[in-house]
């Protein structure tokens, strides 16, 4: 029975018995998810488009019923409880150790090794080290990892700016590497558009919005390195250089701080939409040039036990890794669960992400010649 809880991911709102999907959810390659993240059947989607056509200039709205009757793929963490798909800022003073942190993160994601003790989802990584050259990268990486390399970690020291075609370059990379999970841009200043009001909230917001549009479209994480301002603040996130538009448009931010630049200890504060605020005490091993986690000052919040999901985890096990049937048939296997079939389906759709992350169970509901059916499958690692 798979009942290990991570408690790191929020629930996503998804569908019901009458509006489910025909498409399978694949979490092995995040970039395979369509931009719409919509798991309605083709037949259902066509009917809805005919009955409620979108008129140019009008809002494309969705009712609460339709919202619950649509299944959205779960957001799979890049680093469990720390980094998810989306666009994040990684901020720190110059020479604080950001580039070593980026190289360490990229190496661990590309190899599948835990990062600072947190499990990762393995995939291809692209590191745009735009303030370095290949010789410096070679020396830095060899100090950190010796001669142990990986074919899934790629580097570039030159790239176009956002208004010159950076998105086209990134699109091409993702097209050629279907398992891309993480792209690091070091630094933001190197890819910003030339011209415009660099201190404008609107300009900063638009810059990050363009990057976020790319990360959302491909279901990957964009981690953008940036600098802190010199002015001190009691709120670490107020120290991000530029206007509040950068943080306002991003999915989250990491702020690395040191009391003295020459010391080895640092504080890493994390805030984001898909994870709780966290604070880590780090130590930099100067001999190996690697960051180590000394203490997580904020423990991960864990969702309360859900009796329905627990009961389902007893049905889908290593001995019996697959189950399919109607919601009514599933309720027959859940004697202690008192709810209507439609309510059960909605509950499962809303908990698609938790089923996968906490119980390793893929959930899908689609129509076949027998009507709407539920499919549950254990993810075997």
Does 324 lie in the same domain as 214? Answer: no
Residue 12 has what pLDDT? 39
DSSP single-letter state for residue 181: E
Look at 1 and 149; give whichever has higher pLDDT. Answer: 149
| Count of positions (residues) in the chain | 381
Closest CA to 219 of 251, 255, 186: 251
For residue 202 the two structure tokens come to: 């609107």
Residue 26 has what pLDDT? 37
Does 246 lie in the same domain as 102? Answer: yes
Residue 199 has what pLDDT? 61
* CATH code for position 211: 3.40.50.300
Torsion sign, CA atoms 28, 34, 35, 41: negative
pLDDT reading at 53 higher than 80: no
For residues 349 and 263, what is the distance between their CA atoms, to the nearest angstrom? 49
For residue 223 the two structure tokens come to: 């981690």
Element (H, E) at 51: helix 42-51
Out of 159-173, 225-239, 288-302, 354-368, give the one with best mean pLDDT.
159-173
For residue 123 the two structure tokens come to: 């995939």
- Determine the structural domain holding residue 319 and report its residue range: 30-74+308-378
Q: Using pLDDT thresholds of 50, 70 and 90, give the confidence band for residue 22.
A: very low
Does 220 lie in the same domain as 100? Answer: yes
Does 223 lie in the same domain as 318? Answer: no
Domain count, the chain: 2
Taking residues 134-150, report their average pLDDT.
95
Residue 303 has what pLDDT? 79
Q: Hunting for tokens 């720190």 — which residue is that?
A: 92
Percent of the residues in the chain that have a pLDDT greater than 90, as a whole number: 54
Does 329 lie in the same domain as 269? Answer: no
Q: Using pLDDT thresholds of 50, 70 and 90, give the confidence band for residue 33.
A: very low
Taking residues 210-234, report their average pLDDT.
84
Contact 377, 365 (CB under 8 A): no
Does 136 lie in the same domain as 54? Answer: no
Which CA distances in Å does 6 have to 2, 57, 132, 327? 12, 43, 37, 27
Picking from 1-10, 48-57, 192-201, which range would have the lowest pLDDT averaged per residue? 1-10
Contact 375, 364 (CB under 8 A): yes
pLDDT reading at 48 higher than 50: no
* CATH code for position 366: 1.10.10
Mapped to the 3 state alphabet, what secondary structure does 196-248 carry? CCCCCHHHHHHHHHHHHHHHHHHCCEEEEEEEECCCCCCCHHHHECCCCHHHH
């Amino acid at each position: 029975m798979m009942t290990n809880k991570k408690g790191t991911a929020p629930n996503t709102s998804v569908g019901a018995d009458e509006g489910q999907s025909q498409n399978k959810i694949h979490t092995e390659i995040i970039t395979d998810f369509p931009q719409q993240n919509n798991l309605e059947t083709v037949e259902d989607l066509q009917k809805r488009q005919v009955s409620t056509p979108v008129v140019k200039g009008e809002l494309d709205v969705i009712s609460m019923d339709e919202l619950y009757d649509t299944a959205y793929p779960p957001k799979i963490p890049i680093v469990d409880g720390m980094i998810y798909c989306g666009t994040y800022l990684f901020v720190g003073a110059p020479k604080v150790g950001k580039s070593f942190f980026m190289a360490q993160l990229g190496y661990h994601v590309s190899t599948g090794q835990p990062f600072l003790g947190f499990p990762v989802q393995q995939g291809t990584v692209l590191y745009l080290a735009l303030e370095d050259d290949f010789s410096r990268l070679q020396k830095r990486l060899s100090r950190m990892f010796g001669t142990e390399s990986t074919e899934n970690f790629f580097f570039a020291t030159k790239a176009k700016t956002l208004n010159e075609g950076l998105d086209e370059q990134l699109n091409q990379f993702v097209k050629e590497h279907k398992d891309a999970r993480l792209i690091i841009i070091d630094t933001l200043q190197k890819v910003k558009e030339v011209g415009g009001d660099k201190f404008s909230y609107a300009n900063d917001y638009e810059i990050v919005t363009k990057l976020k549009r790319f990360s959302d479209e491909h279901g990957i994480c964009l981690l953008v390195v940036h600098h802190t301002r010199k002015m001190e603040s009691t709120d670490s996130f107020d120290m991000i250089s530029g206007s509040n538009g950068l943080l306002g448009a991003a999915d989250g931010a990491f702020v690395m701080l040191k009391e003295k630049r020459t010391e080895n200890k640092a504080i890493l504060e994390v805030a984001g939409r898909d994870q709780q605020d966290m604070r880590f005490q780090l130590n930099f091993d100067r001999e190996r040039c690697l960051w180590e986690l000394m203490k997580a000052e904020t423990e991960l919040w864990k969702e309360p036990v859900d009796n329905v999901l627990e009961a389902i985890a007893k049905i889908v096990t290593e001995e019996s890794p697959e189950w399919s049937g109607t919601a009514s048939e599933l309720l027959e296997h859940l004697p202690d669960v008192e709810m209507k079939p439609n309510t059960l389906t909605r509950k499962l759709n809303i908990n698609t992400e938790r089923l996968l992350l906490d119980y390793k169970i893929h959930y899908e509901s689609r129509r076949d010649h027998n009507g709407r059916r539920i499919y549950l499958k254990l993810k075997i690692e």
